[in-house]
Amino acid sequence: MTNQNSADIIAKFDQVYPVYSDFTKVIENLLKGILQLKGISIHSITSRVKSRESLKRKVNREDDKYTKLEAITDLAGIRIITYFADQVDLIASFVEEEFEVDRSNSVDKRELIDPEKFGYLSLHYVVKLPSFRLQLIEYQRFKDCKVEIQIRSILQHTWAEIEHDLGYKNKHAVPREIRRSFSRLAGLLELADEEFIKIRSNLATYEAEVEAQIEKTPTMVLINQASLKSYVLKSQHICRLDQKISHIVNADLELKDRFFGYLTTVFSYLGVKTIGELDEIVQDIGDDLLNFPQNGFKNKQGEKINWGTSLFYLAYAIVGRSGSPKQVADYLEHFKIEAPESRQELIQQIIAAYSSK
């Protein structure tokens, strides 16, 4: 390439840079919207426009490969990082549905891994907006723009980032005695991706079956996040108590899985191991857990409360029934409930509400 060709490409890039900057943001937002509509949760999506210095290095490095700016397909770039490896192909199918794919410049680099498994690569698409989008006036200025979309799992991304930092891009560049370590590690990451998919599938199966297990043999169902969530949503008693508390604090109810995760630590601390044991306590204490003074049911203005909140106060009733201020204090300290200086009042409220029950 002549210096003049390089200079012409850089000069044109300077002119169209604002368009590509807007184009990149538009594509990123489109992809975010598509994934949200499809119900796909991902780790991250990021975008960038190639820097002037990076473009200059590219056009000067490749002799006669690029004679015009339009031939360079990675001026705009989007990277989608998924949690699971099987989401890569799922998202790829959405990309093919929603964009016009440049097949000649797109590549599934995962298929380039040699039998020695040196490398752990991602899927690269080069796309542009399809005709049905270009008919919209706000997209018409992007008709000549292309974007490279990289899709990889978080473990594939980990490999790529560390490999890049080490500075060794192919097996021939790596010292022979270290090459085997690269291969072993790539195999381990590939296996880890597969195992995470299996774990997700097994959890989904368990969540689908645990409701029937609770109805059939609740004393055999150990308390965990999934079983506790299923119990709370199916128990009319718990639902009624939650609704009463939501009325007291004037807050709507919402469903958050991480709250059930927190409750599992509470009941583990209290020695309540199964759903059957928990249900016995609920039936025994019942509406008495609402004996807690109404000013003790706290919630920040405008915030929602979680389904299962009644079980949080059930724990108060369990420790309060002991009549031991020390047991109550130990419980509050363990879970960092209230600041130490204001705990004494809460201890007195709990003992007064439940110790005689």
> Cα 141 from chain centroid?
34
357 residues of the chain, pLDDT tens digit each:
445 678 888 999 999 999 999 999 999 999 999 999 999 999 999 999 999 999 988 888 755 577 788 888 999 999 999 999 999 999 999 999 999 999 988 887 666 555 444 455 678 999 999 999 999 999 999 999 999 999 999 998 888 888 777 766 666 677 777 777 877 887 888 889 999 999 999 999 999 999 999 999 999 999 999 999 999 999 999 999 999 999 998 899 999 999 999 999 999 999 999 999 999 999 999 888 898 887 778 777 778 999 999 999 999 999 999 999 999 999 999 999 988 888 998 999 999 999 865
The pLDDT of residue 90 = 95
Locus of tokens 């270009």: 134
Number of H helices, E strands in the chain: 13, 8
Question: What's the token pair of residue 187?
Answer: 């195999």
Q: Which two tokens stand for residue 228?
A: 């506790």
Which residue is listed with tokens 């007291």?
A: 248
On whether the CB atoms of residues 295 and 227 are closer than 8 A, the answer is: no
Query: How much is the pLDDT for 68?
Result: 85
Q: What is the pLDDT of residue 183?
A: 76
Digit-coded pLDDT (tens) for 250-272: 899 999 999 999 999 999 999 99
Say how far apart CA 190 and CA 119 lie, in whole Å. 10
pLDDT one-digit tens code per residue, 155-175: 988 888 887 777 666 666 777
DSSP state of 116: T
Report the CATH fold assignment for 1-155.
Answer: Beta Polymerase; domain 2 (3.30.460)
* Whole-number pLDDT of residue 47: 96
pLDDT at position 111: 60
User: What's the rounded Cα separation, in Å, for the pair 127 and 135?
Assistant: 17
Domain ranges of the chain: 1-155, 217-354
- pLDDT value for 341: 80
DSSP 296-324: GS---TT--EETTHHHHHHHHHHHHTT--
Q: Which of 121, 100, 213, 215 is nearest to 169 (CA)?
A: 121
Q: Is residue 80 a contact partner of residue 27, using CB atoms and an 8 Å limit? A: no
What value, to the nearest 5°, has the Cα angle with vertex 283 and ends 278 and 288?
Answer: 110
Q: Tell me the CA distances in angstroms from 101 to 29, 114, 128, 131, 279, one per residue in order.
A: 18, 26, 7, 12, 56
